[in-house]
Amino acid sequence: MFTKLSMTSFRGKLTAASIVCILIPALVTLIVYNYLTRDAVKEQAVSNAQQTLLLVDGHVTNTLKHMLYLLNYIQVDSNGISSTFKQFTAGDWGTTNPAYEEYKARADILAKIESATAAGEPSYLTVILNNGIFFMNYQIDFFDPSRILQEPWIPKVQGLQGLDSYWVGVTPTEFRRDKDISPYQLTVVRQLEGQRGFIVVTIMESQIHDYFGQIESVQGQEIMLLDENNRILSHADTNRIGQDFPYSNSLAKKGSDIAKIDGKDYLISSVY
């Protein structure tokens, strides 16, 4: 009986040892595999997010650069527009038929404005002189340009020099025909040479967030454009525009981080 019990105990110990020797390495392997897999999945998610953001950044950058191009087109005198604005400011056409000369000059300016805005992103371009004379590429029933001189940001623009521009940011849409399409607009302003007036370029915010929405519908990624104060400038959900981004502490320059939101882990990725 003593020998039998000893053999049974020995076999039990041997079996237990065998199980331990098999299970422990397997468990360690599983833990390591899960850890490495988790890191690999995270790295892939970060890589995908960064690639998407680079595409978005390119689209947004090109849109904003086009707005600056329009400012430069009017500001730089290579097309002769600036000297014509000087004549409209002085009101001296130096001919026996000033009404006709003024008509020709106005037609020339409008033609150049139409030509500049024909390509690229749809944009509203307005030039308004300090004496109230204005030129634009849209109908006056869409928006009355004379209201620009009463805008609260005009004093900020008056303090700018040369090619410095003032980004008004996102504001409620003032162009009548676009209010139902885009509740918000994005505007940039610059002073004319000689401080004779202002150049104003406006696009609809929807031109930016429509691109965000296309990516979100395919890839399921939420994309937004923030200003330097982490306030939302553009979002596929227009109700979010103007709100503070609630997870700004998780943002890292040109990086990504995992943030726990409502008990779930979210990858937050950013490009500056």
Residue 58 and residue 215: Cα distance in Å, rounded? 14
Mean pLDDT, rounded, for 2-23: 50
Q: Which of 29-38, 117-126, 134-143, 158-167 has the lowest mean pLDDT?
A: 29-38
Residue 173 and residue 184: Cα distance in Å, rounded? 5
Encoded tokens for 220: 């399921």
Residue 204 and residue 143: Cα distance in Å, rounded? 14
Residue 191 and residue 198: Cα distance in Å, rounded? 4
CB 165 within 8 A of CB 189: yes
Confidence class for position 247, pLDDT limits 50, 70, 90: confident
Mean pLDDT, rounded, for 164-189: 93
Residue 51 and residue 42: Cα distance in Å, rounded? 14
Of the segments 23-37, 68-82, 112-126, which one has the largest average pLDDT value?
Answer: 112-126
Better-predicted residue by pLDDT, 190 or 251: 190
CB 112 within 8 A of CB 191: no
Give the list of residues 6+ apart from residue 182 with CB closer than 8 angstroms, or none: 173, 204, 205, 206, 207, 238
What pLDDT, on the 0 to 100 scale, is given for residue 7? 46
CB 130 within 8 A of CB 196: yes
Confidence class for position 36, pLDDT limits 50, 70, 90: very low
Share of the chain above pLDDT 90, in %: 32
Region label for 196, one of left (φ > 0), alpha (ψ between -120 and 50) or beta (otherwise):
alpha
pLDDT of 238 over the 50 cut: yes
Cα three-residue angle 211-216-220, rounded to 5 degrees: 165
What pLDDT, on the 0 to 100 scale, is given for residue 11? 55
Considering only CA atoms, give the Rg of the chain. 31
Encoded tokens for 185: 């607009």
Encoded tokens for 267: 């990858």
Q: How far is CA 122 from CA 70, 94, 159, 175, 208, in A?
A: 11, 37, 28, 13, 12
